[in-house]
Amino acid sequence: MKNKLVNSSFVILVIICSLLCTGCAPKRQAVQLLLRSSPWHFSEGSALSALSPEKTSGTFTAPSDSSSFTIKMSVNLKRENSIKNLLQIPGVLNMKTFQHDAKDRKIQNYPAYPMPDGSIPVLEAALRLHSPTEPKGASDMPIGIPLAMLEKSEGEHEVLLHFSGVRWTLYLDNELLDNDFALGYPKWGKQSTWEIDPSLVSKAEIFFPGIEPQKVALKIPRSSAEIQYWTPQGHNTWVGDVVTFYHNGRYHLFYLFDRRGHSSKFGKGAHYFEHLSTTDFKTWTEHEAATPIEEQWETFGTGTPFIFNNKLCVSYGLHTTRIYPKEQTTLPLQWDYYNKHGVTGSFRYDTIPGYPAGSTYSISEDGISNFKKTKILFHPCENPSVYTDPEGRLRMLANYGAKGTWESKSIDGGWRSVNQEFPPGGDCTFFFRWRNFDYVIGGFTGFWLKPVSAPEDKFVDGVKAGLDFYNGMNVPAVTEINDGRFLLAGWIPMGRWGGALTIHEMVQSPEGRIGTKWMEEIIPATHKEKSLAKEIKETSSFATGSPSFLLTFDVEPGTDLSGKLGALFLGADGENQACEVQISPKAKKAQYGKGQLQNFSGVEKSLREGGSPSSARNYAIENLINTDKPFTVRMIVKYEDKFGGSQIDTEIAGQRTMIAFRTDLKVEKLLLRSEETGIKNVKIAALKN
């Protein structure tokens, strides 16, 4: 009898525990990204000239062959209300502090780091460069930081300015905080004068040639929590075009590193491929840049990773025509060769005249990272999408400067056109095969599919049919990983160009229809989940408690075709910048729209209808999947001062996703409403990071 009582008590306890745990959110651990960044060391040298409070100005003669210089300074930073010039070299360099407009995020994004009172004090150094390609002849190239990004925004700091001939870089307390890529050189006089403000600068030294920095090896690498919605360290750093590859159990993610929203190198972009990888999607590693900029003429365009001769390679375009006219580049030579021979040539660009332009590639020396440039030009297009198709053929989709499908026996030239008209060029097209279907996607709008058994000229336009999967990501890349899973990775536009990295998992129907869902391994970690309502019977408002959170709820679609629900996200200023996620289950449509307190937002257009998902602002998606029966909606709202607003990522029925960005929106309040549609089990959990 005693044993029966014990067993009964145990069963009851198990049932109670089970009931208590029902509905609890799964505990998620934050993803960890191991960073490459470290402090920098500059060796001692003999200064050509030095200034101090006792000697606030001086003269020096720069070497006639100088293409690099370094300035070391000891600076006492202060929050000044007016412009203060710390250092001046007339006609060459001006370094100053000033108050920046808190609403001006153009170029430098200084408001990413505001002071507690909202002010934006800035330290900035502008170098005047003389370039034969610039209409003005000479232009100032500023680099700078908002002082609030420093652990100690005021007081003594070591500031170092370094011009290498390729890079113009600001270091503060041995940390690289901003840089740009040079186009032109400073013009030193026969004798240059310089001066400091002794109330702010206690020492300044200038070195010719410049002192090249050396990385300090760290025993424990720095790290960043989370990869979803990640941006590189810094106030003005963004993720640009993403290309991905899965090889030997490792997922490689290359992205065009961007500062200033395409405005670096005087608006030429100065993009190059940085590289991340992971074997388990929980721990990521940041590698050395795969295609670093090493010459003033270099600025790179999108390509693809691929395997050739058992080597991990990455193709990319040399966008040199952004800097020099086509006639001064190698493009005429390459097109002449193709027109004469019917196939492309192979040229070592360091052995021929003209500025290199067109397609090239780099090879990994260890199969993981350590990429080296081949300096081989193999095609005149400037965005080469190289891949080995499932039949083992080496192929390329040509973009930017060419179009169509090309084929070759070798990566090093010999490319012939096998389809002149498809795909129709544009930005960054990619091919992939999934089960019984072939797909080609474009960077912003194009989407084509066909059965594997169909001829190559039978691709169907999925956008015209309203069956595309564009969801706010720009230039999405598709890669198959382990277990037959496919991932979609791209960037979400937040400013002028570039934004946050976003990765979703793809789903496929037997008919070849593609959808997307969240990738469970990288969903951001959250604090304890809180229930907001068991059921929404009338329009209801809730405080979110945090500007970054995970919101979930269940939907009863009802029977009315006009039935819909709205989740309205509001900031401190009410309808201004408000965003509404609207879902019409029976009409199988969802949208982001301008939020209104009294009414649902107006109707937005899908891509097929002329809308613009790639803008990641207001747009619609259509032909939702599995919304004619009860389903779940999950939304992540992510706010950062660096973003200058909120990214809103919505997953509908585990089959479709859509993402938007809202400038100046910092969510404080949530409003839920519906017409002929049920909303149940509303829960919220603040993000940990």
Amino acid at site 424: P
pLDDT confidence of residue 137? 80
Asked if 177 and 278 sit in the same domain, the reply is: no
Q: What share of the chain is helix, strand, coil (3-state, %, to 5)?
A: 10, 45, 45
Whole-angstrom Cα distance, residue 269 to residue 317? Answer: 13
pLDDT above 60 (res 508): yes
pLDDT above 60 (res 7): no
pLDDT level of residue 17 (50, 70, 90 thresholds): very low
Using CA atoms, how far residue 667 sits from 78, 454, 648, in Å, is 33, 49, 10
Asked if 367 and 495 sit in the same domain, the reply is: yes
pLDDT above 60 (res 12): no
Asked if 431 and 465 sit in the same domain, the reply is: yes
Mean pLDDT of the chain: 94
Asked if 98 and 151 sit in the same domain, the reply is: yes
Whole-angstrom Cα distance, residue 430 to residue 443? Answer: 8
Neighbours of 669 (CB within 10 A): 15
Amino acid at site 401: G
φ, ψ of residue 389 in degrees (nearest 5): -80, 170
Asked if 503 and 626 sit in the same domain, the reply is: no
pLDDT level of residue 65 (50, 70, 90 thresholds): confident
Tokens, residue 313: 């390679």
Asked if 507 and 549 sit in the same domain, the reply is: no
pLDDT level of residue 133 (50, 70, 90 thresholds): confident
Using CA atoms, how far residue 626 sits from 462, 501, 654, in Å, is 19, 28, 9
pLDDT confidence of residue 22? 38
HEC readout, 246-258: EECCEEEEEEEEE
Whole-angstrom Cα distance, residue 629 to residue 588? Answer: 11
Q: Please give the tally of structural domains in the chain.
A: 3
Whole-angstrom Cα distance, residue 250 to residue 207? Answer: 44
- For 332, the enclosing helix (H) or strand (E) is helix 331-341
Beta strands in 114-270 (DSSP E): 121-130, 138-146, 155-163, 167-172, 175-181, 192-196, 201-207, 214-215, 223-225, 237-247, 250-259
Asked if 516 and 540 sit in the same domain, the reply is: no
Asked if 406 and 381 sit in the same domain, the reply is: yes
Asked whether residue 154 is domain-assigned, the answer is: yes
What would the mean pLDDT of 470-490 be, rounded to a whole number? 97
Asked whether residue 485 is domain-assigned, the answer is: yes
Tokens, residue 612: 């613009």
8 A C-beta contact, residue 476 and residue 441: yes
pLDDT level of residue 139 (50, 70, 90 thresholds): very high
pLDDT above 60 (res 589): yes
| Beta bridge mates, 390 | none
pLDDT confidence of residue 15? 36
8 A C-beta contact, residue 430 and residue 440: yes
What would the mean pLDDT of 75-102 be, rounded to a whole number? 95
Asked whether residue 220 is domain-assigned, the answer is: no
pLDDT confidence of residue 64? 82
Mapping DSSP to helix (H, G, I), strand (E, B) and coil, where does residue 226 land? Answer: coil
> What CATH number is attached to the domain comprising 648?
2.60.120.560
- pLDDT tens by residue, 619-643: 999 999 999 999 999 999 999 999 9
For residue 218, the 8-state DSSP code is P
Amino acid at site 654: G
Asked if 344 and 250 sit in the same domain, the reply is: yes
- pLDDT tens by residue, 142-155: 999 999 999 999 99
Which range is most confident: 62-66, 454-458, 543-547, 558-562?
543-547
pLDDT confidence of residue 66? 80
pLDDT confidence of residue 684? 98
Q: Residues 6 or more apart from 9 whose CB is under 8 A from it?
A: none
- pLDDT tens by residue, 351-375: 999 999 999 999 999 999 999 999 9
Asked whether residue 35 is domain-assigned, the answer is: no
Asked whether residue 478 is domain-assigned, the answer is: yes
pLDDT confidence of residue 21? 40
Query: Nearest Cα to 581, choosing from 590, 572, 571?
Result: 590
- pLDDT tens by residue, 333-357: 999 999 999 999 999 999 999 999 9
Asked if 276 and 417 sit in the same domain, the reply is: yes
Asked if 459 and 548 sit in the same domain, the reply is: no
Give the count of alpha carbons within 13 A of 507, CB side only: 16
**Among 497, 521, 545, residue at a domain's last position:** 521
Asked whether residue 29 is domain-assigned, the answer is: no
**Among 487, 521, 555, residue at a domain's last position:** 521
pLDDT confidence of residue 29? 76
Asked whether residue 295 is domain-assigned, the answer is: yes
Cis peptide before 423 (omega within 30 of 0): yes
CA 591 to chain centre: 23
Asked if 515 and 531 sit in the same domain, the reply is: no
pLDDT level of residue 81 (50, 70, 90 thresholds): confident
The dihedral through the CA atoms of 364, 334, 426, 459 has a sign that is: negative
pLDDT confidence of residue 26? 55
φ, ψ of residue 327 in degrees (nearest 5): -65, -25
> What CATH number is attached to the domain comprising 316?
2.115.10.20
- pLDDT tens by residue, 268-281: 999 999 999 999 99
- pLDDT tens by residue, 246-269: 999 999 999 999 999 999 999 999
What would the mean pLDDT of 406-425 be, rounded to a whole number? 94
Least confident of 81-90, 125-134, 327-336: 125-134
| Beta bridge mates, 680 | 535, 554
Whole-angstrom Cα distance, residue 515 to residue 512? Answer: 10
Q: Which domain holds residue 653?
A: 527-686
pLDDT level of residue 8 (50, 70, 90 thresholds): very low
- pLDDT tens by residue, 184-193: 999 998 999 9
> 495 versus 83: which is more confidently predicted?
83
8 A C-beta contact, residue 38 and residue 175: no
CA 197 to chain centre: 39
**Among 215, 249, 275, residue at a domain's last position:** 215
Asked whether residue 24 is domain-assigned, the answer is: no
* Through-space distance between the first and last CA atoms of the chain, rounded to whole angstroms: 53
What would the mean pLDDT of 395-418 be, rounded to a whole number? 96
Share of the chain above pLDDT 70, in %: 96
